[in-house]
Structure 1
């Protein structure tokens, strides 16, 4: 197996800064602000916003479908053509440009908003796989949990900085504040543009493959590598099982990311202050979860740590669904006068811990089980599974909320996280790491 020189601290920081930068897109566009803007102000089918929610689900699912189709082939091209940084840069530029154009999406501009979300989220999602493919080159297998945790933690710090500014300066999502809140797209684009610069300065192109131009020959090589990897999947039984688990787990994660703040607005009916506080709670606890479980992974191992994060997710979903009953129980038992939106913050705390930890540990496990010579391609499959999960989860919840309402649809997430636990029983972590070390370059 090819072994590259271990990364410096500056290179690890540069790699982590991409997580810091791109979190502005995840939070401001998908989770906290623009999703609410699109469903309630751009589409605006009050009182239940079922058409807006369904169109939002469809836009995200279409963008993820593009990644599902392209990610493994692009990953193979990156490995075979020594093109990781070039592809990462292309996804970064496209995300920044299309996100800035969201400024022009006003009330009634349903399809313009739909198209720009498809383009920007597809480019952002592809970039997630591209940056993750550098992870196996940053340290030894027992260090990847800590390094991945640092990246996710910086990501949530970036989200806290970027979205905190927007919530304080641009204000609430409301029709009479639209001329200010529409700047969320350009701000997210500018934040991503500037904060990711250290990545392209400090992170080296791994010495894998031969540098080639993007042409028909490189496409042919990429197809050959994908075919070779598919034939060799029996050599990586633990990675295969991990991908199945990730398929179910990320379906649940994407549902929460896409609908949590929409849920707070439509089901809980929270105030603007609680919305802002929920954002802070989730970001801080996600940061803590990424760091804590990244460190815990070196003690307990990746498989057990990942299982713990999935169990934590199930507890978080139960807290979200039964927030009314929890509020009544606490008020009755402790003679309090809590409101549902206040107790909902507790569900946000659990969700934040689950969010940061599950994504960090899952990404580190993929890095541990991936041969260096196939890193970009296999992280392309990680992206494929994640985005296929997003299509399955978000479209499923979109259809369920159409039929039963958003509160009832959220129970679907419990089924997803429980299903993600099942394949973990057959994973042998030591065997998976050893298979990655013994693998040869497919080219």
Structure 2
């Protein structure tokens, strides 16, 4: 493999737009399937016969299984994509896979637990793998000075994509309820809406985003897999030379566990604790998407001025305040305050975290390092929801007590973040490792 000499040529505006559009395209899956509608539908309808505690735990286990697949595969897939110059092809496959499996969720109705679990695992695996791959393009099309801003633009546009998905679903749900249809009849259609919007909105990315790696020779699949594991092994062996990257990934793993609890179980909490109906939940998540887009945009600009790690620290403080509000909320107004604080912090934390990994990534290893980022986030997606689901099960359906686990993740994550030296991590990204000595050189 040889890096294209034009690898760091400025990307065109069309290409930057195409990169951001993938956040717009795939956000409907997170917003509708994982956060607002299908997760609550799974607990309240598909697995309703098992009871709220068991159904919540089963949903948490489903999310854990999907993310375990990503956790095991992401770094190696990223390394293979770097080695073969195939990030774009991998991205195309995962996009098509997520669209197809999401559409097939239409056929999961009351009692179809096995079908729903299998399809959600497959769709989530494809979604998460694509999320890692699109992030790996960020260091190629941006500079350290603009990386935070571009990441923020992508997340902001993504939240508007989620908002559009929710708006279309809300319009259909409102129409269906006026026709006297039950949730088991209209919720499956929302899966088709998400799949269709994802497929259409991803087309600019798949057509316009350019692969910036040339392959100097052809490799068979066995050789590529070996090469992928070898590159990953090199990175892990030299972990001590990527001190700040791995310290940040540890911090991210912890605080993202709290974020994933909110993403995966917010609608379930609103439904089971606050008594929200489907329409109420959709409106809530729509408002949160607006505040999240604002947060991503504002923090995207701020992190280029004060640094990504400081921005993340600010968002974690906001997260802590939001969880405290949600815990004490007995009336809707305080829960709405918590929801909007969560939206602001969510957008900022996600955009700043992605940008910081990009700033710590050496040239030519984008897929590999963002695979490590994916490994960390998906480990979080296993730990967080399983912790919450387990606590709900142990405390016999008490979601308020389970919410306290979220607070712990954010506090510990903030403490670990304090050990990261952002300036040093950026400098190391511009140096190369001498494999024999393990010493960096320019």
Q: TM-score range by the shorter chain?
A: over 0.9
Counterpart Cα distance in 2 of 1:193 and 1:62? 25
Q: Does 1:89 align with 2:80?
A: no
> Is the Cα contact below 8 Å between 2:170 and 2:279 reproduced in 1?
no
In the alignment, which residue of structure 1 is the partner of 2:280? Answer: 274
2:402 paired with 1:409? yes
State the match for 2:48 in structure 1: 44
* Distance in 1 between residues matched to 2:58 and 2:375, nearest whole Å: 22
Q: What does residue range 124-273 of structure 1 map to in structure 2 within 5 Å?
A: 124-171=127-174, 176-207=182-213, 210=216, 212=218, 215-272=221-278
Q: How far has the Cα of 1:423 moved from its partner? A: 2.1
Deviation at 1:200, TM superposition (A): 1.1
| Aligned position for 1:349 | 340
SS in 1 for 2:276: coil
Structure 1 match to 2:329: 323
Aligned to 1:327: none
Aligned residue runs from structure 1 range 6-45, under 5 A: 6-45=10-49
| In 2, Cα distance between equivalents of 1:211 and 1:376 | 19
Provide the rounded CA distance (Å) in 2 between the counterparts of 1:35 and 1:159.
15
Distance 1:140 1:152, change over 3 A: same
Q: Please give the secondary structure, in 2, of the residue aligned with 1:283.
A: helix
Match in the other structure for 1:371: 362
Moved more, 284-293 or 223-232: 223-232
**Match status 1:419 vs 2:412:** yes
Q: Is the 8 A contact 1:82 1:210 kept in 2?
A: no
Give the unaligned 5+ runs of structure 2. Answer: 437-442
Q: Alpha-carbon deviation of 1:289? A: 0.3
User: What is the CA deviation profile of residues 274-301 of structure 1, one whole-angstrom value per residue up to 9, with x for unaligned ones?
Assistant: 3233122201000000000011101211
Task: Give the whole-Å Cα distance in 2 for the aligned partners of 1:441 and 1:100.
Answer: 48
Match of 2:428 among 435, 440, 443: 435
- Number of aligned residue pairs: give it: 427
Please list the CA deviations of residues 102-125 of structure 1 after superposition, one character each: whole Å capped at 9, or x if unmatched: 011011101000100110001101
Give the alignment's TM-score, normalised by structure 2: 0.93
Q: How far is the alpha carbon of 1:207 from its aligned partner?
A: 2.1
Q: Partners in 2 of 1:439 and 1:162 — Cα distance? A: 43
1:119 to 2:112 alignment = no
